[in-house]
Structure 1
Amino acid sequence: MTDTAAQTSTSRKTRRSNPATDLALIATFAALIAVCALLPAISVGGAVPITLQTFAVMLAGAVLGARRGFLAVLLYLAVGAIGLPVFSGGAAGLAPFAGPSVGYLVAFPFAALATGFFVERLPRKRIASSIPLIFISGLAASFIFIHPLGILGMSWRADLTLGQAFLADLAFWPGDVVKNLLMGLVATAVHRAFPTILPPRPARKIAA
């Protein structure tokens, strides 16, 4: 295949990202995370309650992809940090970043990034029916980032040993499984309705 033919073939398969659409999606998912954070939390008797934030964070990565999912969560954190009451329980400002939940907050954008990274590498024709794979992607990102950083944050800010913080974090595991299963169901439905919502994969160079 000649260089010209290869470039033509690649250009036909590559969709260009629309910055306005990207910004709208990032803002929409930042708002969704805020709404999920403001829904009534479930106290498990520890320093950090159970909320639906994790569901929305993972959904942002699974639907928008790694980069836009990461930016959506960063926007949510930035809006809360500057004073809008979008954190759990209507909290705002920098106080939540000095509390027991700091590790979870810091982990959120990286968990969205990881979820998007995994989902972007699934076969595109199967994403709309890949509930188990998307579920595993979200669960893996949660156990790579959210739980370890959450444990460290509780140990640091709640004056717990690492062992005590680990036991406190165990209370979140069953809910995490349920939230990621729900995320997988919603994400596949979105991909079924909007099959081109994920960003295009980088074009591979084709040798002459």
Structure 2
Amino acid sequence: MESRAIVRIALMAAVIGVLGMLPGVMLPIAMGVPITAQTLGVMLAGIILGPRHGALAVLLFLFVVLLGAPLLSGGRGGLGVLFGPSVGFLLGFIPAAFVAGLAMERLKALPVFAAALVAAVVGGIVVEYACGVFGLMVMARMSLLQVLVATAVFVPGDLLKALATAFVAEASYRGYPAAIASRT
């Protein structure tokens, strides 16, 4: 791996960490799963870096969090985050970034904005929710219907994050076309 790729991976991991510094919103209906800005970083990681490097950026971020860095919403970090209700969403960051990057690669025929929007929705929402719903069902001992109702409140915000991701991808591409790995 070339040093430029390593730097981009590290920078994207840092962006995800910084987004965790923004205050999260706790909703009682979601059993302690906060609304955070970090999924925006996960979507951007896959779309900007591509599937492999995007997933590596998320893995680096998660490694630092599991070492104890308080980079998750609310200043959480350490191994304890693996035992909370949001573990499915947290571990879902990895496949979400990978699938978002893969979708972005496959949608080369579309304009950058449209491709990034679709990729963010597929990876950052569909895949992320599939992992998160499963984790919430296991950790909170809730039924599928209960979890779907509880997580429905997150969808509008995540759609806005997908839209923001598409705008950032479009602006990045216009300013520096090599910024989007799948378009070079």
Fold in common (TM above 0.5): yes
Aligned with 2:152 (options 170, 174, 178): 170
C-alpha deviations, 1:93-127, integer Å up to 9, x for none?
A: 11111100000011111111111111123337x65
Say whether residues 1:54 and 2:36 are aligned partners: no
Aligned with 1:150 (options 132, 156, 159): 132
Cα 1:147–1:116 shift into 2, 3 Å: same
Cα 1:150–1:141 shift into 2, 3 Å: same
2:89–2:128 contact (8 Å) kept in structure 1: yes
Who is 1:119 aligned against?
104
CA distance in 2, matches of 1:163, 1:49: 19
Cα 1:177–1:200 shift into 2, 3 Å: closer
CA distance in 2, matches of 1:34, 1:69: 14
CA distance in 2, matches of 1:42, 1:142: 19
Who is 1:108 aligned against?
93
Query: Which deviates more from structure 2 when the two are superposed, residues 93-102 or residues 113-122?
Result: 113-122
Question: Aligned residues: percent identity?
Answer: 38
Cα 1:159–1:123 shift into 2, 3 Å: closer
Who is 2:142 aligned against?
160
1:54-203 equivalences under 5 Å are 54-123=39-108, 127=111, 130-199=112-181
Q: Which has the larger radius of gyration?
A: 1
Who is 1:20 aligned against?
3
2:67–2:77 contact (8 Å) kept in structure 1: yes
Cα 1:200–1:147 shift into 2, 3 Å: closer
Alpha-carbon deviation of 1:199? 4.0
CA distance in 1, matches of 2:14, 2:87: 20
* Aligned length, in residue pairs: 182
Aligned with 1:35 (options 18, 21, 43): 18
2:47–2:104 contact (8 Å) kept in structure 1: yes
CA distance in 2, matches of 1:81, 1:36: 17
1:120–1:198 contact (8 Å) kept in structure 2: no
CA distance in 2, matches of 1:187, 1:27: 18
Structure 1: state its 5+ residue gaps. Answer: 1-17, 202-208
CA distance in 1, matches of 2:153, 2:182: 38
| Bigger fraction of residues in helix | 2
Task: State TM-score, norm by structure 1.
Answer: 0.81
CA distance in 2, matches of 1:117, 1:194: 21
CA distance in 1, matches of 2:118, 2:107: 12
CA distance in 2, matches of 1:114, 1:194: 23
Alpha-carbon deviation of 1:163? 1.5
Alpha-carbon deviation of 1:43? 2.2
